[in-house]
Chain A
Amino acid sequence: MANLTKEELFQAKIDAEIKIEPKDWMPEAYRKTLIRQISQHAHSEIIGMLPEGNWISRAPSLRRKVALLAKVQDEAGHGLYLYSAAETLGVDRADLMNDLVTGKAKYSSIFNYPTLTWADMGAIGWLVDGAAIMNQVPLCRCSYGPYARAMVRVCKEESFHQRQGYEIMMTLSNGTPEQKAMAQDALNRWWWPSIMMFGPSDADSSHSAQSMAWKIKRFSNDELRQRFVDATVSQAEYLGLTLPDKDLKWNEERGSYDFGAIDWDEFWNVVKGNGPCNRQRIKARQKAEENGKWVKEAAMAYAEKRRKRQQKIKTQEAAKAA
């Protein structure tokens, strides 16, 4: 053991499934990778509140409204668990937020698509949260302790998100022909962006191999994407809806579904900032930061004043006692 380098000792811990905790030694690249991944993940939760927040005031019933409100509130919470995990790596939340509003940091591209009808709330819960869960469950075993613990909480809370979405899709699919058409339209628009959520195919994924060796990632993008497709086909069939992919068919030999080619040009175009809502999403965050600034400052000033007043009372009491 004595003649192992720091890096080798670190990798030996990872290989032995010993979690890495905040103050442990870690390679700079491991720290950087985690900061990038966890903050992107946090940003995705926060930006993810916007497309759904769009429908809270127009939810068709009180039952749907409380559920959507709770889901969006959960997303705020998930963002906070994740920022909290990122901060254990020595970054400041305000700096991370700044990277988001200046466009330096990325977030999941799926949230750059618009939510045009109520059925989108169903499709997002079912597909987008479904894909997110597929990604996040293995992250519960990530080698970095605080990230893994945050993911355990997130995963526990997220299964309600997917179920409420599927329930919306069921109700619409069993409704009038117009309602069913609305559900199908939402599925048509969200299907491809959802399976793009797993990221570029393994051959083009720049960070994958190292992340697998560090056990930040447990499965490749393509593996997770395949699992998601396999899990979703029968769910669509149950709804009586059609997945918008004419090449989708069962492959007996592989025991999986084959599916059509993904339009990676569209994917990269949205990643680069040219999706339908990229600018709108960032603008909404900038506005929230700007409008909330005075509140933050006022709260800080008030806290400072209170602290001083309490200090003064204490000093006076001490003087009296003496």
Chain B
Amino acid sequence: MSKKNWPLWEVFIRSKQGLSHKHAGSLHAADEKMAIENARDVYTRRMEGVSIWVVESKHIHASNPLEQGELFEPANDKVYRHPTFYDIPDEIGHM
């Protein structure tokens, strides 16, 4: 039964010009055109968007939560990547 079902799409909405698209949720649709039409009805009933992206969910590749440590922890001890790591005298002013 589930083979004939409409595939799942992830929906991304740009709330206004100048901002990036943000994940809003998912929906089922037969093709990309219907996915955009449905996304409009489901996720932008109150002027939440000016642009919609849809991506078939199966095309999204995600990092593995089990690898969260090895992927992201190395950044923790690299404080020298932040401007506050460097001592600049106050009289220099904003830098």
Interface residues of A (CB under 8 A from B): 21, 23-25, 70, 73-74, 77, 80-81, 84-85, 87-88, 92-95, 98, 150, 157, 296-297, 299-300, 302-303, 306-307
- Partner of B45 from A73, A98, A300 at Cβ < 8 Å: A73
Q: How distant is B14 from chain A, measured CB to nearest CB, in Å?
A: 17
Stretch at the interface among B1-9, B71-79, B80-88: B1-9
- When distances are taken between beta carbons in the complex, the residues of chain B under 8 Å from A81 are 25, 42
Number of B positions contacting A (CB below 8 A): 22
B31 and A307 form a contact (CB under 8 A):
yes
A93 and B28 form a contact (CB under 8 A):
yes
- When distances are taken between beta carbons in the complex, the residues of chain A under 8 Å from B31 are 299, 302-303, 306-307
Chain B residue nearest to A298 in the complex (CB):
B30
- When distances are taken between beta carbons in the complex, the residues of chain A under 8 Å from B42 are 77, 80-81
B45 and A296 form a contact (CB under 8 A):
no
> In the complex, what distance in Å separates the CA atom of A85 from the CA atom of B6?
17
- When distances are taken between beta carbons in the complex, the residues of chain A under 8 Å from B1 are 94, 98
Interface residues of B (CB under 8 A from A): 1-2, 4-6, 8, 25-28, 30-31, 34, 41-43, 45-46, 62, 64-66
Ordered by A's residue number, 20 sampled pairs between the chains whose C-beta atoms are within 8 Å are A23-B62, A23-B64, A24-B65, A77-B42, A77-B45, A80-B42, A81-B42, A87-B26, A92-B5, A94-B1, A94-B5, A157-B45, A157-B46, A296-B4, A296-B30, A299-B6, A299-B31, A300-B6, A302-B30, A307-B31
A300 and B8 form a contact (CB under 8 A):
no
> In the complex, what distance in Å separates the CA atom of A77 from the CA atom of B34?
16
> In the complex, what distance in Å separates the CA atom of A311 from the CA atom of B62?
28
Given A77-B45, A80-B42, residue A300 in contact with residue B30 (CB < 8 A): yes
A84 and B26 form a contact (CB under 8 A):
yes
Q: How distant is B13 from chain A, measured CB to nearest CB, in Å?
A: 12
- When distances are taken between beta carbons in the complex, the residues of chain B under 8 Å from A297 are 4
> In the complex, what distance in Å separates the CA atom of A171 from the CA atom of B65?
54
> In the complex, what distance in Å separates the CA atom of A81 from the CA atom of B25?
7
> In the complex, what distance in Å separates the CA atom of A74 from the CA atom of B8?
21
> In the complex, what distance in Å separates the CA atom of A133 from the CA atom of B25?
21
- When distances are taken between beta carbons in the complex, the residues of chain B under 8 Å from A150 are 25
Q: Interface SS of chain B: helix, strand, loop or mixed?
A: mixed
Q: How distant is B55 from chain A, measured CB to nearest CB, in Å?
A: 14
- Partner of A94 from B2, B27, B65 at Cβ < 8 Å: B2
Total A-B residue contacts, Cβ distance less than 8 Å: 58
- When distances are taken between beta carbons in the complex, the residues of chain A under 8 Å from B41 are 73, 77
- When distances are taken between beta carbons in the complex, the residues of chain A under 8 Å from B6 are 296, 299-300
> In the complex, what distance in Å separates the CA atom of A25 from the CA atom of B68?
12
> In the complex, what distance in Å separates the CA atom of A102 from the CA atom of B4?
20
Chain B residue nearest to A73 in the complex (CB):
B45
- When distances are taken between beta carbons in the complex, the residues of chain B under 8 Å from A306 are 31
- When distances are taken between beta carbons in the complex, the residues of chain B under 8 Å from A77 are 41-43, 45
Given A23-B65, A74-B45, residue A299 in contact with residue B8 (CB < 8 A): no
Chain B residue nearest to A302 in the complex (CB):
B30
- When distances are taken between beta carbons in the complex, the residues of chain B under 8 Å from A296 are 4-6, 30
> In the complex, what distance in Å separates the CA atom of A297 from the CA atom of B5?
8
Chain B residue nearest to A98 in the complex (CB):
B1
> In the complex, what distance in Å separates the CA atom of A77 from the CA atom of B6?
18
A303 and B30 form a contact (CB under 8 A):
yes
B46 and A21 form a contact (CB under 8 A):
no
- When distances are taken between beta carbons in the complex, the residues of chain B under 8 Å from A92 are 2, 5
Chain B residue nearest to A80 in the complex (CB):
B42
Q: How distant is B47 from chain A, measured CB to nearest CB, in Å?
A: 12
> In the complex, what distance in Å separates the CA atom of A185 from the CA atom of B25?
41
